[in-house]
Structure 1
Amino acid sequence: MEKRKLGRTDLEVSSLCLGTMTWGEQNTKAEAYEQLDYAVDQGINFIDTAELYPVPSRAQTQGRTEEIIGDWMKDRGNRSDIILATKIIGRSENDWYRDGGVAPRLNRAQVLEAVDKNLKRLKTDYIDLYQIHWPDRKVTQFGSNPLIYSHPGATEDETPIAETIAAMQELVKAGKVRHVGLSNESAWGMMNYLNEAETGTGPRVVSIQNAYSLLNRTFEINLAEIAMREQVGLLAYSSLGQGVITGKYLDGKQPAGARMTLFKNFGGRYQTIGAEPAVRRYLEIAEKFEVDVAQMALAFVLSRPFTTSVILGATKMEQLKTDIASHEFKLTDEMKKELDAVHMLHSNPCP
């Protein structure tokens, strides 16, 4: 499998990254081990998780995914072979993440507390890529790239980006974290983090993990140029629109065991009035070229010059095998032209 540079670092990550957010909820520990073993066997060396996982986040299960990964690395004795990414949550009112029931923020004290808990659950003494899951400031929409702007206003306890990145510098100096990345961040936020690094406040961010798919190409509007010029690569998530692109939810279908079937409020981002018309057109293109629609959609994201890695998440091994095979799928110029034509008619229905 192709390896790509992670930002300006010397790390080379696989072009596909194994996502983990269902482990400990929809997937058992044994199923997680099966996915991990298969992914590594196929050449994936990059694993992404978070303190929040599994989803949906609950006090009873929070952190379980990291614990599973930690157990697997210990059992396999392969920590040095894995490039491990995890995350610290941003602003939240959920009271089960921090000691004393404190509302999560990205201030220095909480960054230092969170990373030690990450490390303990993961049974490791360092994290390759520590990502800020979402901003501390209020933003107009989760993901920070809205099509319709609604000003959220500031808050009195908003943690300055300078404080957050300075705390990350402490983690790097202590050897607990090798590199820092962003997630669900906007162009304004990304440039502020980069500017703080230029002034010596903290480490330079090396990646940004945002949603990017045929149903959501908002990353291209402003962030893509920054990613290319500043060498802060995209780690794309939801590249199948939580499975919506496969057509399995069309006409109100609720497949047994599917995420949006189990968790009714989980998929609102991909259940918009513009989603179904776009999905039907993409399915038509896949049928015309006699290709798998999931592989076509993933290959599209992989082909973008600003993409470092595409994060795959699957609950079933059959899904995972299909998705991993997408790294061998090559889009033709004719396919790209038709995909862009659909995008012009159905632009970003699921931002």
Structure 2
Amino acid sequence: MQFNQLGSSDLQVSEICLGTMTFGIQNTQQDANDQLDYAVDYGINLIDTAEMYPIPPNEATYADTERFIGNWLAANQDKREKLVLMTKIAGSGLAYIRDASPISSNTIAMALDDSLRRLQTDYVDVYQLHWPNRTSPHFAKHWPWRTNPQDTDVEHEREGMRDIVKGIGEAIDAGKIRHWGLSDDTPWGIHTFLNLCQEMGVPKPVSIQNEFSLLHLKDWPYLIETCVFENIAYLPWSPLATGLLTGKYQNDERPKGSRWTFVQRQGLFRNTTEAHEATARYMEIAERAKITPAQLALAWCKQVPGVTSTIIGATSVAQLKENIEAFEIDLSEDIKRQINQVIKRYPIPF
């Protein structure tokens, strides 16, 4: 297992991060236990979750993923100190989570205590903001005309971010979190938080996780360059494009129990003709390389300069094993050249 430094922190994390958003809907407590056991035994020490999970989010299962992990931690207390546990505070948008209130110093204090209780731990290694309070170009909003930055009251936004940094500093001082990070943010968001942290004497964010895959490249190279230059770990989520890059959704297939069989909060915006065409080309490349399509996508993601740890998820230990094995694969220059040809033809397929 390869380990990398998590940004400016003192933490060494595995190049594979176990994502857990399936725990509670697609996976039972026993499934979660089996995946956690397998991942940790393999050498993975980075675990990512969120109060909003499982996905798709709904009030009935809200925070069950943290509860599942907490139950496992309670039964494996000797492993806690060896793990880097990350969770996230939800922002506005979900009425059943703090009445859809935005992230603030007050909501951080409430949400963090609730997460610690569910996770059955005294501290979180990395506490993350799940998404910005402002509308940002994520979750299908990266296409032209989906957002207008001129609609944002920048000074109001900056003041809200200053209050967030205050709350983060208080949580660090209280020993409830060791470090903090961002999620689904932009270069402006990163630099604004960096400036505020310097101004207020609060440790800077050590990581950011954004959607990134062969079908979703908007962060490369600009945001990833920002991360490298500012020593912030870049953590891709959904490197398989919610399973699309495995090929299982080709020809309108919907395997029983798969993510696309559930109602999606923002619809199946990744389900486009171009995305399926690109996936078909990647499947052909994987066949020539004698690896699975999932392994091609993950091995490609691993070798992108600036990627610290890739967040993978699974609904079975068999899937998890296949995905983990991808990180033992080094893609040849010829395979990377073939991939680049597909990227040029389908640069923004969804």
Same fold at TM > 0.5: yes
Q: Which residue of 2 aligns with 1:128?
A: 125
Structure 1 or 2: more helix by fraction: 2
Per the TM alignment, residue 95 of structure 1 is displaced from its structure 2 partner at its CA by: 2.4
Whether 2:101 is the aligned partner of 1:107: answer: no
Aligned equivalent of 2:189 = 189
Distance 1:272 1:56 in 2: 20
**How many residues end up aligned between the 2 structures?**
346
Give the conservation status (yes or no) of the 8 Å contact 1:260–1:266.
no
Local SS of the residue matching 2:213 = coil
- CA-to-partner distance for each residue in 1:128-164, whole Å, 9 max, x for gaps? 0000000011224437744555316237985621111
In 1, Cα distance between equivalents of 2:165 and 2:83? 25
**Quick check: 1:86 aligned with 2:90?**
no
Deviations 1:259-315 (A, max 9, x none): 101335566232123201111111111112222111111011111121111111111
Q: Percent identity?
A: 40
Q: Deviation string for 1:100-143 (max 9, x for gaps)?
A: xx322111111111100010000111000000000011224437
Paired residues for 1:279-290 under 5 Å? 279-290=279-290
- For residues 315-336 of structure 1, give each alpha carbon's deviation from its aligned partner in whole angstroms, at most 9, with x where no partner exists: 1221111001111111111111
Bigger mean CA deviation after superposition, 78-87 or 200-209: 200-209
- Secondary structure of 2:308 counterpart: strand
1:154 is aligned with what amino acid? T
Q: Distance in 2 between matches of 1:300 and 1:49?
A: 24
> Match of 1:182, SS?
strand
Letter in 2 for 1:38: Y
Contact 2:2–2:14 (CA<8 Å) still a contact in 1? yes
Shift of 1:36: 0.3
Q: For residue 226 of structure 1, what is the aligned residue in structure 2?
A: 226
Indicate yes or no: 2:48 matched with 1:48. Answer: yes
The Cα of 1:15 is off from its aligned counterpart by: 0.4
Instruction: Indicate the residue corresponding to 2:29 in structure 1.
Output: 29
The reply on whether 1:217 has 2:217 as its aligned counterpart is yes
**Residue of 152, 155, 172 corresponding to 1:154:** 152
The 3-state SS of whatever aligns with 2:284 is: helix
- Per mean C-alpha deviation after superposition, the further-off stretch among 141-150 and 108-117 is 141-150
Aligned equivalent of 1:342: 342
Over 6 Å off, 4+ runs: none
The 1:144/1:271 distance shift into structure 2, 3 A limit, reads closer
**Matches of 1:177 and 1:15 in 2, distance apart?**
22
Q: Give the equivalent residue in structure 2 for 1:142.
A: 139
Aligned match of 2:270? 270
For residues 59 and 20 of structure 2, what CA distance do their matches in structure 1 show?
A: 18
TM-score by length of 2: 0.94
Query: 2:139 and 2:156 mapped to 1: Cα distance?
Result: 19
Q: Which amino acid in 2 is paired with 1:304?
A: V
Point out the more displaced range, 206-215 or 271-280: 271-280
Per-residue CA distance 1:31-60 (angstroms, 9 max, x = gap): 000000000111101100000011111122
CA contact (8 A) 2:57 2:265 kept: no
1:190 CA drift (Å)? 1.2
Q: Distance in 2 between matches of 1:301 and 1:139?
A: 23
Secondary structure of the corresponding residue to residue 23 of structure 2: coil
Task: State the partner residue of 2:8.
Answer: 8
* 1:233 positional shift: 1.5
CA contact under 8 A between 2:91 and 2:100: conserved in structure 1?
A: no
1:43, 1:143 → 2: CA distance?
A: 34
Letter in 2 for 1:284: E
Distance in 2 separating the partners of 1:17 and 1:144? 26
Separation in 2, partners of 1:195, 1:202: 10
The offset of 1:201, in angstroms, is: 4.9
- Which SS does the other structure have where 2:170 is aligned? helix
Alignment of 1:326-337 (within 5 A): 326-337=326-337
Change (3 A) 1:275 1:329: same
> Alignment RMSD, CA only?
1.8
